[in-house]
Amino acid sequence: MTKIGLFSLIGAALAVIFIVGCGGDKEGSQNQNTKKVAVKGEIVVSSDFQLTRNFTGTIEGARQAIMTAKISEAVEDVPVKEGDFVESDQILIRLDRTGPTSNYIQAFSLFQNAEKNYKKMKYLFKEGAVSETQFDATRTEYEVAKANYDAARQTVDIKSPIAGMVTSIDVSIGDYLYPGKIVATVASIDKLRMKLGVSSAEINLFETGNDVNVYVESASKLEAKGSVAKIARSADPETRTFTVEIAIDNPDHNLKPGMFGRAEITAKRLENVIAVPRNSVIAAAEGNYVFVIAGEKVRRKKVDLGVDFNGRVEIKEGLNPGDTLVTVGQNYLTDGSPIKLVRLVNDRGEEIEL
């Protein structure tokens, strides 16, 4: 056989091998394309939803009074303790009446003398023994002395201006105070409040009057009802959050100021909307999309999203009630992929194995 004939025979053999190889790749590709992806689906329905948000914070009294020292004196007595209920004008802290900055003793002595003279002049005036001018002068002296005595007494007998629970006592017997030193705090507990920090992304969800459930984890789980009372119009320059104040009803006094709680706020009610599992939506550079089952294949559909809540997201546009949405397996699909539906959540929320 000539060299030319030999080369021709080798070339023909290689061509056959190439054709067979190509045919094998094409067949494998076809088998791969017809392989079905097992998926889970959910029938799309429109429903009513409540958009809730959870925040944590410290519970305070709706009315709260913080008492401070007005003079520099030593603490002589603390007749109450934290947790006690007190009435308005009840003494919380007693300071040394005889100390160098207290004029209580002098003011009390002047008041006693002025009161004695006033009573005497009042009797004489009724009897016509003194003039009205003399009586008025004595009465004025008495009123001034009484006002000075009351002021001196208030500096050494620190009282609560409101009825409520003593939430803190910040001094002990023997402590030497200075003006402005906080000594005690009293809060009313029929109505409580909680201040929350809300981000700028969520503040527009809140409206005055939104319902609130408050939960406190203690020896037993405590619950209370409330509502959004105030919404700040501007953000705190330090925290960059908006303050939302919650008013809490506490008729049984189960909650106490100082407790740490969680507020679940119904920020918004959505009526007749489509909401799907958040993880069924795939984010891409060109937008958000989902896969909808059409027969034994899927169609990729672009969707317009609304608000997120409770693991679901509102679909404003792109889905219709009755569509079958792929909720598991969507990350392995492309437009037109063949699928096998193995589980389905029907329009009643029941999960069915197929």
**Mean pLDDT rounded to a whole number for the chain:** 87
Mean pLDDT of 164-182: 94
CA atoms within 13 A on the CB side of 13: 6
Asked if pLDDT for residue 17 goes beyond 80, the answer is no
C-alpha 50/C-alpha 78 separation (Å) is: 50
CA atoms within 13 A on the CB side of 235: 12
Region class of 128: left (phi > 0), else alpha (psi between -120 and 50), else beta: left
Stretch(es) of the chain classified as CATH 2.40.50.100:
64-186
Summarised one tens digit per residue, pLDDT across range 233-253 is 999 999 899 999 999 999 888
**199: closest CA among 264, 244, 138?**
244
Six token digits for residue 133: 């001018």
Say if CB 186 and CB 244 are below 8 A apart: no
C-alpha 268/C-alpha 207 separation (Å) is: 9
C-alpha 302/C-alpha 287 separation (Å) is: 7
Summarised one tens digit per residue, pLDDT across range 207-231 is 899 889 999 987 678 889 999 999 9
C-alpha 328/C-alpha 338 separation (Å) is: 14
Which residues have CB under 8 Å from 116's CB, separation 6+?
A: none
Asked if pLDDT for residue 2 goes beyond 50, the answer is no
Of the CATH numbers 3.40.50.1860, 2.40.420.20, 3.40.1010.10, 3.40.190.10, which one belongs to the domain with range 35-47+271-353?
Answer: 2.40.420.20
Mean pLDDT of 108-122: 95
0.75 exceeded by pTM: no
Q: For the structural domain made of 64-186, what CATH number should be given?
A: 2.40.50.100
Q: Which amino acid is at 94?
A: R
Stretch(es) of the chain classified as CATH 2.40.30.170:
53-61+188-270
Summarised one tens digit per residue, pLDDT across range 305-353 is 998 877 899 999 999 999 999 999 999 999 999 999 999 999 998 999 9
Torsion of CA 304, 307, 308, 309, to 10 degrees: -140
Stretch(es) of the chain classified as CATH 2.40.420.20:
35-47+271-353
Write phi, then psi, for 156 (nearest 5 degrees). Answer: -105, -25
Summarised one tens digit per residue, pLDDT across range 262-310 is 999 887 788 899 999 999 999 999 999 999 999 999 999 999 999 887 7
pLDDT band, residue 6 (cuts 50/70/90): very low
Chain centroid to Cα 5, Å, comes to: 90
C-alpha 153/C-alpha 156 separation (Å) is: 5
**184: closest CA among 172, 167, 165, 162?**
167
Six token digits for residue 77: 């007595």
Neighbours of 318 (CB within 10 A): 18
**60: closest CA among 214, 168, 188?**
188
The fold for domain 53-61+188-270 equals Elongation Factor Tu (Ef-tu); domain 3 (2.40.30)
Summarised one tens digit per residue, pLDDT across range 134-143 is 999 999 999 9
DSSP string, 149-216: HHHHHHHHEEE-SS-EEEEEE---TTPBP-TT-EEEEEE--SEEEEEEEE-TTTGGG--TT-EEEEEE
Summarised one tens digit per residue, pLDDT across range 68-91 is 999 999 999 999 999 899 999 999
CB-based burial label for 168 (10 Å; 0-12, 13-18, 19+): middle
197-231 burial string, b = 16+ CB within 10 Å, else e? bbeeebbebbeeebebbbebeeeeebebebebbeb
